[in-house]
């Protein structure tokens, strides 16, 4: 660099570090080559609204995508490469870094950048999701931006770890970002009389906005053309919901000084080829925890109402004077026992009729922490339909990539005012604590067609089966392998099929359970040491009740009725139906919707022992998907 440029940059960075040291992000990784660039902070080119409600900053969680086109070879050295915030200046700019496998080749490059990282890229066309659920501060990628391309720039400089904060970076690449979305800045008067704010001491925590055009959805833009607009390609919505990260109250005044509470929405700009939409209105539904109001605002009363241009901000005054009691349901995610992320949730009444669906659970529920179904402004007939569900037992189905599982909950008193909360706990792929089991005896009949000592299987509960099995009503189960003179008779129990898995799915599941052991030995010739037993864990697709030793003698542990990839040994005398104090977990691969999980036990072989029965007690069986 030229000396003048070096001195100017050094001075600016020294001043910069004086005010942003507390914003310093984690140092670059020790492995690989770290490179970086500046995203300059000219007015309005950052992402998240600060606490003052007006200024903006890059968020410490922001990620930018960078492309580096080699102008000689016309090949991309960097292609949609994510860069994270290294440090930031809350008023001007931020420095973003990435760790590459090797330094960039020395060449002349054209650089492109976007915020956030695109969902997909085809050539120079990038696809983004303009979110229909936002936090009121334009965080989380709601402020889509494209940089002005920079040509004739060399390779990005290598950066070493600045553990003492004393290295000045060259920063040879500075990208200036351009907003592709329009912003609505909302606030609620009024000052002393509160004539526009009828919520008393409650703050607004949710705003639902509806416009005449699609203001959210999947959009495309050209990363090489900062003047290009957004093109809606799918999932268009004229409504967005703001679950406010920071609830807002009324604007207050002290003398000539005003204290504003702002909420922001990032929306797709209005289409330039349809001026008729500007004759419409902005419909805003505003909610506190117990109350609601509705403001319908003509575009004629909104500044810039005939534009709604990209990179512009429209102030919106919300009139919340006409309030009413709120009726709503707030769904929150509790524990996810399935082990795999849920993407869709379905609700059904007691007759099996579909009532409601929450799609894109991650964006519409988990990120804001909840999902609300508000029926305050529904018609009388619609409200009565909701009211009729109070106290009913509803079925919930949870869909993930590989499974659909369900459970139930009792609808709270949604026929009374307020926002009623329901916590949704996703069930296991399979769970059984045997609290519903009836008493069973292992003294069933010997089967025909197999070696003596193999006993018929019996069905119990809903799809479980076992051979040489017993159960204490409402408590637990046990299986009983046996030593008979010189013969050994195995015992087994099989779960129902893992029918919660989708057809064609093949997943690894985690099987966990509690167990203990006891035994009873005697007969013509019993000589301690007493025998222990081995429990083999496996799987099968055989349906119905499976005999205790079927195929075991002729095909070993990999016959038609199961493969057994693991086992454990136990030799104990303290177990019982009420003393099951050990635990075991194993990951079983290659499980599908017809897979049943199997326990098969056999006892030790030792000379001089006869006639012993060896019980394995089992309880609290839990099966989860192991996410990759």
Query: What pTM did the predictor assign?
Result: 0.77
In the chain, CATH 2.60.120 sits at 432-625
Q: In the prediction, which pLDDT does 45 show?
A: 46
Range 439-451 average pLDDT? 59
Greater model confidence, 242 or 486: 242
Spatial contact of 616 and 533, defined as CB atoms under 8 Å apart? yes
The proportion of the chain whose per-residue pLDDT surpasses 70, expressed as a percent, equals: 81
- How high does pLDDT run on average in the chain? 84
Pseudo-torsion of CA 460, 464, 465, 468, nearest 10°?
-80
Looking at residue 367, its pLDDT comes to 67
pLDDT tens for each residue of 495-510: 999 999 999 999 999 9
- Which of 208-222, 350-364, 451-465 tops mean pLDDT? 208-222
**Tens digit of each residue's pLDDT (9 = 90 or more) over 318-337:** 999 899 999 999 999 999 99
Is the confidence at residue 547, as pLDDT, over 90? Answer: no
For 196-251, where are the E strands, in sequence order?
204-210, 216-222, 231-237, 239-248
Residue 344: pLDDT over 90: yes
pLDDT (0 to 100) of residue 15: 32
Q: Summarize the confidence of residues 432-451 as an average pLDDT.
A: 72
Residue 57 reports pLDDT greater than 60: yes
Residue 9 has pLDDT above 90, yes or no: no
In DSSP terms, which residues pair with 128 in a beta bridge? Answer: 219
Question: Would you state the pLDDT for residue 450?
Answer: 45
pLDDT of residue 108: 96
The pLDDT score that the predictor gives to residue 482 is 84
**Phi and psi torsions of 462, nearest 5°:** -120, 80
375 pLDDT above the threshold of 80: yes
Q: Does domain 432-625 have CATH number 2.60.40?
A: no
* Cβ atoms 611, 523 nearer than 8 A: yes
Determine the pLDDT at residue 551.
53
Q: What is the rounded end-to-end Cα distance, in angstroms, of the chain? A: 47
- Residue among 245, 59, 43 nearest 137 (CA): 245
Distances 364 to 65, 240, 276, 360 between C-alpha atoms, Å = 25, 11, 31, 6
Centroid of chain to Cα 393: 26
Residues 385-402, mean pLDDT to the nearest whole number: 96
Q: What is the mean pLDDT of residues 426-453?
A: 76
pLDDT of 136: 92
So what's the architecture of 3-179 in CATH?
Answer: Sandwich (2.60)
Report which of residues 224 and 6 the model is more confident about: 224
pLDDT at 5: 33
Measured CA distances, 452 to 12, 66, 445, 448, 535 (Å): 90, 72, 11, 8, 21
Q: Give the per-residue pLDDT at 62.
A: 83
Q: Is the peptide bond before 42 cis (omega within 30 degrees of 0)?
A: no
pLDDT digits (tens, 9 = 90+) for 59-78: 777 889 999 999 999 999 99
pLDDT over 90 percentage in the chain: 56
pLDDT of residue 506: 97
pLDDT tens-digit profile of 250-309?
887 666 666 788 999 999 999 877 777 778 899 999 999 899 999 999 887 675 555 788
Q: Tell me which residue has tokens 């009913």.
A: 392
Helix, strand, coil share of the chain (percent; to 5): 5, 45, 45
Fold of the domain built from segment(s) 182-325: Immunoglobulin-like (2.60.40)
The label of the residue with tokens 């990260």 reads 245
Q: What pLDDT is stored for residue 366 in this prediction?
A: 72
Report the pLDDT value the prediction gives residue 279, as an integer from 0 to 100.
Answer: 80
Domain with CATH 2.60.40.2630 in the chain: 182-325
């Amino acid at each position: 660099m030229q000396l003048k440029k070096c001195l100017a940059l050094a001075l600016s960075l020294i001043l910069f570090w004086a005010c942003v040291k507390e914003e310093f992000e984690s140092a670059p990784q020790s492995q690989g080559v770290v490179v970086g660039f500046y995203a300059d902070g000219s007015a309005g080119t950052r992402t998240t609204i600060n606490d003052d409600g007006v200024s903006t900053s890059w968020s410490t969680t922001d990620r930018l995508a960078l492309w580096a086109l080699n102008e000689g070879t016309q090949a991309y050295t960097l292609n949609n490469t994510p860069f994270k915030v290294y440090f930031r200046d809350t008023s001007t700019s931020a420095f973003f870094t990435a760790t590459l496998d090797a330094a960039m080749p020395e060449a002349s490059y054209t650089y492109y950048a976007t915020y956030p990282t695109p969902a997909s890229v085809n050539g120079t066309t990038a696809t983004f999701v303009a979110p229909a659920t936002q936090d009121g501060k334009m965080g989380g990628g709601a402020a889509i931006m494209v940089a002005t391309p920079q040509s004739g720039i060399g390779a990005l400089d290598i950066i070493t770890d600045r553990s003492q904060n004393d290295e000045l970076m060259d920063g040879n690449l500075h990208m200036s970002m351009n907003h592709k979305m329009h912003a609505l800045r909302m606030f609620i008067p009024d000052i002393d009389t509160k004539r526009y704010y009828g919520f008393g001491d409650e703050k607004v925590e949710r705003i639902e906005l509806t416009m005449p055009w699609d203001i959210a959805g999947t959009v495309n833009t050209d990363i090489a053309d900062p003047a290009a607009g957004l093109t809606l390609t799918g999932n268009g919505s004229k409504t967005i919901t703001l679950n406010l990260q920071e609830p807002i109250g009324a604007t207050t005044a002290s003398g000539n000084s005003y204290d504003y509470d702002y909420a922001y929405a990032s929306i797709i700009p209005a289409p330039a080829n349809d001026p008729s939409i500007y004759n419409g209105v902005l419909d805003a539904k505003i909610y506190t925890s117990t109350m609601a109001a509705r403001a319908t605002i003509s575009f004629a009363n909104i500044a810039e109402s005939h534009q709604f241009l990209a990179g512009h901000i429209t102030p919106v005054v919300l009139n919340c004077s006409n309030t009413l009691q709120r009726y709503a349901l707030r769904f929150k995610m509790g524990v996810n026992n399935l082990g795999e992320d849920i993407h869709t949730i379905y609700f059904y009444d007691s007759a099996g009729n579909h009532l409601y669906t929450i799609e894109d659970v991650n964006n519409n529920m988990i990120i804001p922490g909840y999902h609300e179904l508000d029926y305050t402004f529904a018609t009388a007939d619609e409200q009565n339909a909701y009211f009729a569900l109070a106290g009913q037992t509803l079925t919930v189905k949870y869909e993930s990539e590989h499974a659909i599982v369900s459970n139930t909950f009792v609808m709270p008193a949604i026929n009374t005012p307020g926002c009623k909360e329901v916590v949704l706990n996703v069930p296991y792929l399979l769970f059984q604590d045997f609290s519903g089991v009836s008493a069973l005896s292992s003294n069933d009949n010997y089967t025909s067609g197999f070696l003596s000592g193999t006993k018929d299987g019996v069905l119990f509960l809903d799809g479980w089966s076992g051979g040489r099995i017993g159960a204490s009503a409402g408590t637990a189960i046990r299986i009983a392998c046996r030593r008979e003179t010189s013969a050994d008779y195995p015992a087994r129990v099989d779960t129902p099929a893992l029918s919660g898995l989708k057809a064609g799915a093949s997943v690894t599941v985690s099987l966990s359970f509690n167990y203990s052991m006891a035994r009873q030995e005697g007969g013509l010739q019993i000589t301690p040491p007493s025998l222990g037993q081995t429990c083999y864990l496996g799987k099968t697709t055989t349906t119905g009740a499976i005999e205790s030793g079927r195929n075991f003698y002729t095909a070993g542990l990999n016959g038609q009725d199961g493969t057994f990839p693991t086992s454990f040994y136990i030799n104990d005398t303290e177990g019982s139906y009420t003393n099951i104090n050990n635990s075991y977990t194993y990951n079983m691969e290659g499980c599908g919707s017809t897979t049943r999980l199997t326990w098969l036990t056999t006892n030790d072989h030792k000379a001089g022992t006869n006639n012993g029965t060896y019980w394995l007690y089992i309880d609290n069986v839990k099966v989860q998907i192991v996410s990759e």
